[in-house]
């Protein structure tokens, strides 16, 4: 299979690589070193917002002011909500680019643009590990985030800013997967369109050319104070999270062989997965062995209806972690009947649920893989003994 990489080149994936089965997951995961080369402050220095955003990540991967070492403060412009909101938006865009850099340089993932046959219009992309599309026998872990302003590699932008990369980014999850010898695909379901006016303003702020300080100040003031009307162009094959998921399933995940596929889905990502399950029923039920849902927004009754085969499949292959005051992994009672086990995520904060439940989720994956039992669903009419007799007598 050929895939287009970030530089536009095509790379043919190998289809045969020996590999032992995933070893037991280690109890602790070593956090990436925040080196000078990958400093977040360098991203800010390349923009014209250095004075407004004097922040960097410390050795604990927490966002702190470079001078006071205090957490991020939203109210930088005293009681001017619009400008503070634009500053927060600019910080989010910088964090987005920084996390993309970490995905490629620290996690060693490849950035793949879709659709592959198009290169002169706005396109979406996702990230994957080098062996994700090979027939190399392993677990393929797919990360499907919640709906929001954040992009690939983040569970929650708010958690990144206020609790650090350990809790808000998907990097710890990817590191755990790599340590367990999983392959990884990081979806980008929220990158559905490009806003031409905002992109123009943004690129103006990220110029690395030497300019006068007065011009820089004017550019920053313009970005932080003016509300521009949107000029949005949808990205083909990624107009919605559901379309993004379906495209990557059809053209990438479904074409792999020898992979045991697992999903971690958060919030709206649960609804997106159930949509895929309904529309790609036979493929998904035959390839996916476990799904970890976190505070999912799916609705079994509306999405799966009374399909007995799918209801039986999710009962055996899905588990949900929900926000709760109960300790991690304790069963949680719900108002509506759940078709699969529901346990506590070990936190009452929605944006911390993914990071708090990760260790438990990987234990679930490993246990499910060891005790793997495939429920085979017939894809055609069931031939019974009585039907055979009727056919012979006819």
Provide the CATH number for the domain around residue 257: 3.40.50
Reply yes or no on whether the pLDDT at 201 is more than 90.
no
Within a 10 A sphere around the Cβ of 326, how many other Cβ atoms? 16
pLDDT value of position 34: 52
| Burial class (CB within 10 angstroms; exposed 0-12, middle 13-18, buried 19+) of 76 | middle
Reply yes or no on whether the pLDDT at 198 is more than 80.
no
Q: Measured between alpha carbons, how far is residue 293 from residues 120, 142, 184 in Å?
A: 36, 12, 17
pLDDT band at residue 193, thresholds of 50, 70 and 90? Answer: low
Q: Where in the sequence is the domain holding 128, given as residue range(s)?
A: 109-205+230-376
pLDDT value of position 223: 47
Structural domain includes residue 50: no
pLDDT value of position 192: 64
Structural domain includes residue 67: no
Structural domain includes residue 198: yes
Structural domain includes residue 196: yes
Maximum mean pLDDT: which of 18-22, 110-114, 213-217, 301-305:
110-114
Higher-confidence residue of 5 and 83: namely: 83
Ranges 114-128, 264-278, 307-321: which has the least confidence: 114-128
CA–CA distance, 164 with 166 (Å, rounded to integer): 5
Q: Are 197 and 230 in contact (CB under 8 A)?
A: yes
Count how many domains the chain has.
Answer: 1
Could you tell me which of 245, 201, 43 has the C-alpha nearest to residue 54? Answer: 43
Structural domain includes residue 241: yes
Reply yes or no on whether the pLDDT at 50 is more than 60.
yes
Rounded to two decimals, what is the model's pTM? Answer: 0.79
Structural domain includes residue 72: no
pLDDT value of position 194: 66
Structural domain includes residue 7: no
pLDDT band at residue 121, thresholds of 50, 70 and 90? Answer: confident
Structural domain includes residue 289: yes
């Amino acid at each position: 299979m050929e895939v287009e990489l970030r530089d536009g080149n095509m790379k043919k994936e190998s289809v045969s690589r020996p590999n032992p089965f995933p070893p037991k997951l280690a109890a602790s995961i070593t956090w990436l070193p925040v080196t000078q080369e990958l400093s977040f402050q360098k991203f800010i220095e390349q923009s014209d917002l250095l004075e407004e955003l004097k922040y960097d990540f410390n050795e604990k991967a927490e966002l702190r002011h470079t001078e006071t070492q205090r957490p991020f403060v939203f109210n930088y412009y005293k009681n001017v909500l619009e400008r503070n909101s634009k500053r927060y938006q600019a910080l989010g865009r910088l964090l987005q680019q920084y996390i993309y850099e970490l995905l490629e340089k620290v996690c060693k993932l490849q950035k793949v643009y879709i659709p592959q046959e198009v290169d002169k219009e706005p396109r979406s992309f996702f990230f994957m590990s080098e062996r994700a599309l090979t027939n190399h026998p392993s677990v393929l872990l797919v990360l499907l985030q919640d709906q929001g302003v954040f992009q690939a590699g983040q569970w929650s932008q708010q958690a990144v800013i206020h609790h650090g990369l350990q809790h808000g980014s998907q990097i710890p999850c990817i590191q755990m997967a790599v340590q367990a010898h999983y392959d990884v695909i990081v979806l980008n379901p929220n990158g559905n369109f490009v806003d031409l006016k905002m992109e123009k303003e943004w690129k103006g702020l990220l110029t690395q050319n030497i300019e006068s300080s007065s011009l820089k100040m004017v550019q920053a003031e313009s970005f932080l104070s003016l509300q521009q009307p949107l000029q949005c162009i949808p990205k083909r094959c990624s107009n919605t999270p559901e379309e993004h998921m379906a495209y990557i399933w059809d053209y990438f995940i479904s074409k792999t062989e020898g992979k045991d596929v697992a999903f971690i889905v958060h919030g709206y990502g649960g609804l997106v997965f159930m949509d895929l399950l309904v529309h790609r029923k036979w493929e998904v039920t035959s390839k996916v062995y476990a799904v970890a849902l976190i505070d999912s927004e799916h609705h079994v009754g509306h999405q799966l209806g009374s399909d007995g085969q799918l209801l039986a499949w999710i009962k055996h292959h899905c588990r949900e972690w929900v926000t709760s005051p109960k300790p991690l992994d304790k069963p949680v009672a719900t108002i509506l009947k759940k078709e699969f086990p529901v346990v506590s995520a070990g936190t009452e904060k929605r944006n911390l649920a993914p990071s708090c439940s990760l260790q438990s989720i990987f234990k679930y994956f490993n246990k499910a893989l060891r005790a793997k039992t495939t429920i085979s669903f017939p894809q055609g009419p069931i031939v019974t003994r009585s039907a055979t007799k009727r056919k012979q007598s006819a």
